[in-house]
Structure 1
Amino acid sequence: MNKHQVLEQVTTLWNTHIAFNQLLGFTITRMDPQESEIRFAWKDELMGNPVQEILHGGVIASVLDMVGGVVAAANIIENLPQLDESIIHEKLSRMSTIDLRTDFLRPGRGNEFIATARIIRKGSKVAVARMELHNEKGTHIAFGTGTYIVG
């Protein structure tokens, strides 16, 4: 199995077995060490302000954290010397968020939302990602910085 196949398997696993992501409607559409992406559609259950009909801030922070974790996980897989299933499982099971900062730029309006993440810095123990959330029109809604344990 090559790294691309491992990334596809992890994407499928996380899309089908993380109940929280399914509840919110998050779908990982790209898991890559350079950039990862999650998409989700508007639904009323995600509303944080019924007067303005905008996304709840917790949904925004959650998707930014998730997409940052996805790109961090892709980097873990990319840097493994061998693709042994037990090593992959061990490394990914120890990964977690250390710190998350979210900056809300505009109200979360739209029909579809796209969260992207890139690694800013990766060391042997910690990775830092920069995440952004846009709607289907390209309106920049929020950005964040996430720090993740990766080693």
Structure 2
Amino acid sequence: MTIPKDKLLRSEELGEYVTNMFATNMPFIDLLGMKMIYQGTERAEVHLPWKDNLMGNPIQKVLHGGVTAAILDTVGGLMAILHAVAEMDNVTLEEFHHRVGKMSTIDMRIDYLRPGKGEKFIATAEVIRKGSRVAVCRMELHNESGTHIAFGTGTYMIA
């Protein structure tokens, strides 16, 4: 998605831009095989198909805990920035980059509820609280059957 730097963008366009940026400009996300699903600025969703190289326990054939943490951190970060974007209208891409260019994870806690078994994993996130510089998100990971595998809370720098 190529956008001229001086074009004024609405929040919906920025949301699509952010989701596309996560999907195409972050090699780690591509390495794991995560797919960003854009559903507007109020909900973030990331899908991850099972691959044997994501296995953490070869006896049980379950998802590695680090992969679980990575997908939860990714969906939380995406949600935090999408929520910030929802308040931006008529900004240029340059102004947007200036406002959220330093976005990063401050802290994250993961609760592993059961082994990560499945053919597809779906991570979702919602914002619990957002201030002018920090957002707190709750993230959940389920498999394709809806089995709840893990949840987390992440704190993200958004400005």
TM-score (norm 2): 0.90
Contact 1:31 1:70 in 2 (8 A): no
Identify which of 18, 27, 39 aligns with 2:26.
18
For the residue of structure 2 that corresponds to 1:97, the secondary structure is strand
Q: Of residues 68, 91, 96 in structure 1, which corresponds to 2:99?
A: 91
* Runs of 4+ off more than 6 Å: none
Q: Which sections of structure 1, spanning at least 5 residues, go unmatched?
A: none
TM-score normalized with structure 1 length = 0.95
Amino acid at match of 2:35: T
Q: Does 1:123 align with 2:104?
A: no
Q: Select 2:76's aligned residue among 68, 84, 87.
A: 68
Matches within 5 A, 1:39-118: 39-80=47-88, 82-118=90-126
Q: Secondary structure at the match of 2:23?
A: helix
Query: Residue 2 of structure 1 is aligned with which of 10, 17, 25?
Result: 10
Letter in 2 for 1:118: E
Count of residues paired in the alignment: 151
Identity of aligned residues (%): 49
Q: Give the superposition deviation at 1:81.
A: 5.0
In 2, distance between residues paired with 1:104 and 1:33? 27
Which whole-Å CA distance do the structure 2 matches of 1:120 and 1:150 have between them? 14
Aligned mates of 1:35, 1:12 — CA distance in 2: 15
CA distance in 2, matches of 1:30, 1:9: 10
Unaligned runs of 5+ in 2: 1-8
SS class of match (1:94): coil
